[in-house]
Amino acid sequence: MADWSKLPSDVIPHIANHIKVIEDYIAFGAVCTSWRITATKDNFDVFSPQVPLLMLQGVNHEEYYQNIYSLSKKKVSPTFLPQVRGSKYVPITEGWLCTMERDTGEINLLHPFSHKKYTFPPKKPY
37 found inside a domain:
yes
**3 state SS of 75:** strand
104 found inside a domain:
no
Measure the CA–CA gap between 13 and 88, rounded to whole angstroms: 32
90 found inside a domain:
no
In the chain, how many domains are there? 1
69 found inside a domain:
no
| Stated pTM of the model | 0.55
Q: What is the pLDDT of residues 81-116, one digit of tens each?
A: 777 777 887 877 777 888 888 888 889 998 877 778
124 found inside a domain:
no
Q: What is the pLDDT of residues 1-49, one digit of tens each?
A: 677 778 887 888 888 877 777 777 777 777 777 777 777 766 666 666 7
Within the chain, residue ranges assigned H as helices are 12-16, 22-29, 33-38
126 found inside a domain:
no
DSSP summary character for residue 64: S
Separate counts of helices (H) and strands (E) for the chain: 3, 7
Q: What is the pLDDT of residues 26-35, one digit of tens each?
A: 777 777 777 7
10 found inside a domain:
yes
91 found inside a domain:
no
Show the domain range for 21. 1-50
